[in-house]
Structure 1
Amino acid sequence: MVFDLSKLITVIFTLFAVIDIVGSIPILIGLKEKMGSIRSMQATFVSGIFMIVFLFVGKQFLSILSLDVHSFAVGGSIVIFLIGLEMVLGKEIFHSDTNAKSGTVVPIAFPIIAGSGTLTTIMSLKANYEDWYILAGILINLVVVYIVLKSLGSIERVLGEAGLTAIRKFFGVILLAIAVKIFSTNLSAFMK
């Protein structure tokens, strides 16, 4: 097995863009104010479990539904495309549950961090990348998620509203390009 840094970087940035922890900062700050505090380690751990379990048993789950990874990847690429479009246009397409009474696990770990877009992306990535690249990408992103959750106040002061908007739009464009690549790669599998 040959290590390919470009593959790892693509997986890391794809997951970073889909998890969109930076774009979720305004939602997280609002939840923190309502809840009093966010248990950063618990939210990171639970969302990581969701992602890793889906990485390794997602394929079996799909087989129960009589789906293959390529079909899921094509469907997932459409979801990723819509998430990227949402980020670029600033219009909400996917409505998340922001009920703060549910606590750290719901809605923070799921669906804000490890939501349907993230789980779909993990399955879509499986069609193009080895599992260990995806696992490494998940773990690296979990470190970023933990750091962001621990330092919400500081990040908000440093970036400001304009900075958060610029970062969100930048990663939205990257997601759009990645979605098109995943779609075209897996659609060609049906043509053979």
Structure 2
Amino acid sequence: MNDVVNAVLLTEVFVTLFVIMDPPGTIPVFLSLTSGRSPATIRKAAWQAVAVSFFVVTVFAFFGQGILRYMHISIPALQGAGGLLLLLVALELLTGNEKEPTATQDVNIALVPLGTPLLAGPGAIVAVMLFVQRVDSVATFVAVALGVVLVHVALWLAMRFSVNILKVIRESGVLLVTRIAGLLLSAIAVQMVADSVRAFVNGEG
């Protein structure tokens, strides 16, 4: 299998992005932003948000380095900024102070804030760009691409069946998952900042 796909890298990509993009954690936010809308509209918003997220992540995966060079921004700088922003999000998840903008009927919430920055935020963008740097063969390319696709499939499933999922795990279950995700996200954020500082100290920034 490693001749076709790097299983270790695939697992690392999927787990990292799953924790950062947090499909279970999008359920309460998605439900609040789509409240009062028809089931057809909710289903449409689910796939549109995932499509926007996938587009943004893919663009930065292929052209992120060029965009950063043009704007004279280094990977460690973006990584540090993404880490700090992720830390703020993680603290909100841990303390229960999440504040999402209220959706109105004439606003396509699938684009903003769902597609970006909720799903395709700085953490996911930086993580994908760093994984792309490790692509040196067909197996590693397939691993990174497949990992990104699988995470977006998980995101779509979470939002598409959010009402059914909420009935199963209930609000207390969502709260528990959100707190655990906040803890893991804070650890990832601190690690990103630490790696950024280390890169600057080593003269890589």
Q: Which has the larger radius of gyration?
A: 2
From the superposition, tell whether residues 154 and 19 of structure 1 become closer, same or farther in structure 2 (CA, over 3 Å). Answer: same
| Aligned-residue offset at 1:147 | 0.9
- Tell me the amino acid that sits aligned with residue 70 of structure 1: P
CA RMSD of aligned residues (A): 2.7
Runs of at least 5 residues in structure 1 that lack an aligned partner in the other structure: none
Distance 1:168 1:117 in 2: 17
C-alpha offsets along residues 154-181 of structure 1, whole Å, 9 cap, x if unaligned? 1010111110011111111111222222
Aligned positions of 1:47-126 closer than 5 A:
47-92=53-98, 96-100=100-104, 101-103=106-108, 104-123=110-129, 125-126=130-131
How many residues are matched?
189
C-alpha offsets along residues 76-109 of structure 1, whole Å, 9 cap, x if unaligned? 22222222222112223xx544424222333332
Distance 1:177 1:121 in 2: 14
Range with greater deviation from structure 2 (107-116 or 153-162): 107-116
- Tell me the amino acid that sits aligned with residue 25 of structure 1: I
From the superposition, tell whether residues 178 and 9 of structure 1 become closer, same or farther in structure 2 (CA, over 3 Å). Answer: farther
Please state whether the residue corresponding to 1:24 is helix, strand or coil: helix
From the superposition, tell whether residues 79 and 10 of structure 1 become closer, same or farther in structure 2 (CA, over 3 Å). Answer: farther
Please state whether the residue corresponding to 1:22 is helix, strand or coil: helix
Matched, 1:153 2:163: yes
Distance 2:133 2:176 in 1: 29
TM-score normalised over the length of structure 2:
0.77
Corresponding residue of 2:14: 12
Matched, 1:28 2:30: yes
C-alpha offsets along residues 132-170 of structure 1, whole Å, 9 cap, x if unaligned? 354333211111011112211110101111100111111
TM-score normalised over the length of structure 1:
0.82
Corresponding residue of 2:198: 188
Aligned positions of 1:32-43 closer than 5 A:
32-36=34-38, 37-38=41-42, 39=44, 40-43=46-49
Determine which of 173, 177, 184 is the counterpart of 1:174. Answer: 184
